């Protein structure tokens, strides 16, 4: 009897893990769009606008598409300026985060991609410069040890 209960419990557990999880969107795309606009989430607004058919645009939605394009350009410039500030302070991780955020808003931005590539190259050059300085200081330290080697 306990074997039967164990078997039934095991089969139920295995059967339930095969159930799919369904995400139910409680709002229509227009309502989700309004909520995203209220939060100022440009990435989500762009995703929702991509789902909405462009041929059904009324004047408000066409104006929203134009505003979204302007806002994306503004965020792009803001992220470039923010990343430049981080780079001046040699805050490489924060600069990368700024570029990543900008690319999340405008994934096709060649300006952001080029700036990120330049920043990575600049970081690598900076690290190489630090390695050279370390080697030089180690060499200088070794030259001061020459008299000690003579005493040994």
| Lowest-pLDDT range of 122-126, 127-131, 143-147 | 143-147
What percent of the chain lies above the pLDDT cut of 70? 81
Which of the 8 DSSP states describes residue 56?
Answer: G
By the 8 A CB rule, do 49 and 36 touch? Answer: no
pLDDT in tens, 74-101: 889 999 999 999 999 999 999 999 999 9
pTM over 0.75? The answer is no
Closest among 79, 82, 127, 85 to 103, alpha carbons compared: 79
pLDDT in tens, 50-74: 887 777 667 888 888 888 888 888 8
pLDDT in tens, 20-49: 565 555 677 778 888 888 887 888 888 888
Q: Residue 52: its pLDDT value, please?
A: 79
Query: Which residue shows structure tokens 């970081």?
Result: 123
- pLDDT tier at 114, thresholds 50, 70, 90: very high
Cα-trace Rg, the chain: 29
């Amino acid at each position: 009897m306990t074997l039967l209960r164990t078997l039934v419990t095991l089969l139920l557990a295995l059967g339930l893990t095969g159930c799919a999880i369904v995400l139910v969107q409680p709002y229509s795309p227009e309502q989700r769009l309004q909520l995203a606009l209220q939060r100022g989430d440009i990435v989500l607004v762009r995703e929702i606008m991509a789902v909405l058919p462009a041929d059904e645009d009324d004047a408000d939605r066409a104006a929203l598409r134009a505003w979204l394009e302007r806002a994306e350009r503004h965020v792009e410039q803001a992220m470039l300026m923010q990343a430049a500030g981080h780079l001046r302070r040699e805050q490489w991780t924060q600069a990368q985060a700024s570029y990543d955020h900008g690319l999340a808003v405008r994934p096709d931005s060649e300006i952001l991609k080029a700036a990120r590539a330049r920043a990575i190259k600049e970081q690598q050059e900076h690290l190489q410069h630090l390695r050279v300085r370390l080697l030089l200081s180690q060499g200088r330290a070794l030259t001061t040890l020459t008299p000690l080697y003579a005493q040994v």
